[in-house]
Amino acid sequence: MSKELHSKTKIDPFGTTAIEDYEKLYEEFGIQPFKPLLSEIPDPNAAMRRGVIFGHRDFGRILSAMKNHEEYAVMSGIKPTGEFHLGTLQTAREVTYFQQHGAKAFYCIADVEAYEDNHIQFERSQKYAIGNVADLLALGFDPKKGFIYKQSKEERVKDLAILFGRGVTLATMKAIYGEHHMGLYLSALIQAGDILLPQTKDFSGPKPTVVPVGIDQDPHLRLTRDLAFKFRRKYKFIPPSSTYHKLIKALDGSPKMSKRDPMSYFTFEESPEVIAKKIRNAFTGGRPTAEEQRRLGANPDICPIYDLYLFHFFEKDEDVTRLYHEECKGGCILCGEDKQRLIEIVTTFVKEHQRKRHQYMDKAREILKAE
């Protein structure tokens, strides 16, 4: 939504999101902290263990389904406006985690939103979508146990959106999202259809459903939970649960990557050389001189290089802890050395990912019924 909570915090799925303090979101929005649940989660993933996933709504319902081996679903997706990047990688890993832990997985290609929000024609978004699906498969999503679809071609989602149109007024949409053209409100209703699709008759009816998203997507969750309640009598919808991950910093140190600035992020289709250059040029929390850094230590809390390790590129939690406390704050490593180590890890990952992705392109075309 476009509401500003206080001077530096803003949550807007169709615009800029900036979070000054994640803790404040608990009181302001009724998001629950994730940490107290951690000890109960079977085999929590790195994002859960490291506090990258910091909040949830109604995750207890999902936890109970996981523990009791009951039916549940995971639903998320991607807006096909470009190649996979660090933000979409996060969501894909979360969807894959729940799929590997018993969830029926749904992944939507939000091409209607790409059209309405980013003015990307359907022919163009189709090209991105094929690559995005190949990325998802390369990251371990099992299409045999999941359903991947495009919003523009999924009649059941559009039918739900038509239905939901009767459940909201223009004033509600403005209150949640701010003033926009009608198409964006329509795409929000379609997203509500995406989120509740796993609970329709064709997919064996109502079931707990978790939607792992970045905090910027919370307005869609609040709208959908409200619609699930309004249409509960006929459809028996269970309000969707959600998990919220923090937003990874941009390479220039700003709070969120921006497509408008290609140096602020990298995609997995770029060459390792280009990615290495972007990492070398990235902002850090380092000191002006090597001597000062060795003596006083640096600041990982403002450093995008630290975020890259934390979110994606250190497999072991001990390595993250050591970087934070000993190497960075303790002044045992200089930023140039740290960047070089990261470049080596990212290069290995990207080369392997690109190899797998290439192998999945035909499968992705088949799934999306593309030429």
Question: Interface with ligand SF4 by CB under 6 A: which residues?
Answer: 284-286, 298-300, 303, 305-306, 328, 333, 335, 338-339
Report the nearest approach of ligand SF4 to the CB of residue 96 (Å): 27
With contact defined as beta carbons under 8 Å apart, do 38 and 71 qualify?
Answer: no
Q: Given the complex with ligand SF4, which of 117 and 307 has the nearer CB atom?
A: 307
Residue entry with tokens 């009181």? 27
Report the nearest approach of ligand SF4 to the CB of residue 333 (Å): 5
Supply 232's token pair. Answer: 């509960």
Q: Given the complex with ligand SF4, which of 224 and 293 has the nearer CB atom?
A: 293
The alpha carbon of residue 163 and the mean position of all alpha carbons in its chain are separated, in whole angstroms, by: 27
Q: Given the complex with ligand SF4, which of 43 and 318 has the nearer CB atom?
A: 318
Q: Given the complex with ligand SF4, which of 65 and 305 has the nearer CB atom?
A: 305
Q: Given the complex with ligand SF4, which of 299 and 347 has the nearer CB atom?
A: 299
Report the nearest approach of ligand SF4 to the CB of residue 347 (Å): 17
Q: Given the complex with ligand SF4, which of 92 and 335 has the nearer CB atom?
A: 335
Report the nearest approach of ligand SF4 to the CB of residue 282 (Å): 8
Report the nearest approach of ligand SF4 to the CB of residue 217 (Å): 28
Report the nearest approach of ligand SF4 to the CB of residue 309 (Å): 7
Helices (H), 108-181: 111-118, 122-138, 155-164, 170-177
Separation of alpha carbons 211 and 94, rounded Å: 9
DSSP 16-47: --B-S-HHHHHHHH-PEESGGGGGGSSS--HH
Phi, psi of 9 (to 5 degrees): -110, 130
Separation of alpha carbons 170 and 293, rounded Å: 55
| β-pairing verdict for 241-245 and 53-57 | antiparallel
Report the nearest approach of ligand SF4 to the CB of residue 284 (Å): 4
- Radius of gyration of the CA atoms of the chain, in A: 21
Q: Given the complex with ligand SF4, which of 82 and 286 has the nearer CB atom?
A: 286
Q: Given the complex with ligand SF4, which of 235 and 313 has the nearer CB atom?
A: 313
State whether residue 148 is helix, strand or coil.
Answer: strand
Beta bridge pairs of residue 77:
108
Beta bridge pairs of residue 212:
243
Report the nearest approach of ligand SF4 to the CB of residue 54 (Å): 20
Q: Given the complex with ligand SF4, which of 139 and 247 has the nearer CB atom?
A: 247
Report the nearest approach of ligand SF4 to the CB of residue 16 (Å): 25
With contact defined as beta carbons under 8 Å apart, do 250 and 260 qualify?
Answer: no
**Full strand arrangement of the beta sheet holding 73-78:** 32-33, 53-57, 241-245, 209-214, 73-78, 104-109, 146-150
Separation of alpha carbons 118 and 321, rounded Å: 39
